[in-house]
Amino acid sequence: MSIMWKYLDKRAAVIRALKDYSSMKFIIDNTDREIKEVQDQAVSVASPSLSGMPKTHNPQAVEDRIIRALDEIDVLKERYRQAVEYMDWFQPAWDFLTDDERYVLETFYTDEDTGTGAVYVLCDQYNIERSSAYNKKNRALDKLVVQLYGRG
């Protein structure tokens, strides 16, 4: 094992990964549709702009639009590749957690109720005190850290 793992703040890295989870799922679910929309816009006829301003003629306007579309498609495909790589790394560890552990972590880190609000949600949900809610969150987070990075 490399010495750098000793100095990596694994808990903070897992929290950041948790916060990215819904974004990565969205990217994977919607990239094909976004690429299709960009392709459709690239080959469609441009509508005139009725701004009242004088126009200049650009003989390469169509080519410029196609090049911009190809560049945008490349960006979308790279974003998709990164999301798939993330999910291949994160999803097995996430699936290893119990439903309760996933709920606790989602409540703390991915919902709008962060911090104190999340604690009160968990206190009401499980009929526990605040310290027990924090302990529950810490145990779930520690379990996810071990699944993603191992012990050490």
Domain residue spans of the chain: 22-50+57-89, 97-152
pLDDT of residue 125: 87
Q: pLDDT: is 3 or 72 the higher one?
A: 72
What was the pLDDT predicted at 41?
Answer: 85
Average pLDDT over residues 85-93: 95
pLDDT at 59 over 70: yes
Token readout for 117 is 């609000």
Confidence of residue 70 (pLDDT cuts 50, 70, 90): very high
Q: What is each CA distance from 29 to 13, 54, 88, in whole angstroms? A: 24, 42, 15
What is the pLDDT averaged over residues 105-132? 84
Q: What is the mean pLDDT of residues 2-18?
A: 80
* Number of alpha carbons in the 13 Å side-chain half-sphere of residue 37: 7
Q: Which residues neighbour 93 within 8 Å (Cβ) at sequence distance 6 or greater? A: 144, 147, 148
Mean of per-residue pLDDT scores for the chain? 86
Whether 149 shows a pLDDT value over 60: the answer reads yes
Q: Report pTM.
A: 0.79
Whether the predicted pLDDT of 117 surpasses 80: yes
- What's the pLDDT score for residue 146? 93
Average pLDDT over residues 78-96: 96
The percent of residues above 90 in pLDDT, for the chain, comes to: 56
Q: How confident is the model at residue 5 (pLDDT cuts 50, 70, 90)?
A: low
Model confidence at 4: pLDDT above 70:
no
Per-state percent for the chain, helix, strand, coil, to nearest 5:
75, 0, 25
